Amino acid sequence: MNNVLFNNTAAQGDVYFRKVSNLPEGVKKVVPEGTKLVVTHSETGHNHVMGAEFASMYETENPLVCYLYIEQPTALEHLRTFDTHTPIMFDKGVYEVRRQREYVPQGFRKVED
């Protein structure tokens, strides 16, 4: 399976990515889980991950928004062996990461992948 390279925006399942110019102030660095950076946890355990060697993630006060800082081209993979999303290749730079949300009668909630 080939990795998909994108220019400004991309999505993988319930996660949306947008290239931005820099990290905002007040973000907090996220500790990787071993050698993997879990970009989003899946409710079914099929997380969206990338290698932590050249990528860092930063959280904000908004639980639906975080940022990635990529030092060298790195692929985002979906850890599922069936009905999986195509890996996305990130070039060097800073990316805003947004969990998509959906409306239900009780209000908005995170989209579940």
How does pLDDT run across 63-111, given as a tens digit for each residue?
Answer: 889 999 999 999 988 776 555 667 889 999 999 999 865 445 665 445 4
Residue 84: give the domain boundaries. Answer: 4-110
Residue 30 has a pLDDT of: 94
DSSP E strand boundaries for the chain: 4-5, 9-12, 15-20, 28-29, 36-40, 48-51, 55-59, 65-70, 74-78, 88-90, 93-99, 101-104, 107-110
Residue 13 has a pLDDT of: 73
Residue 99 has a pLDDT of: 83
pTM above 0.85, yes or no: no
Domains: count for the chain: 1
How does pLDDT run across 39-56, given as a tens digit for each residue?
Answer: 887 666 677 889 999 999
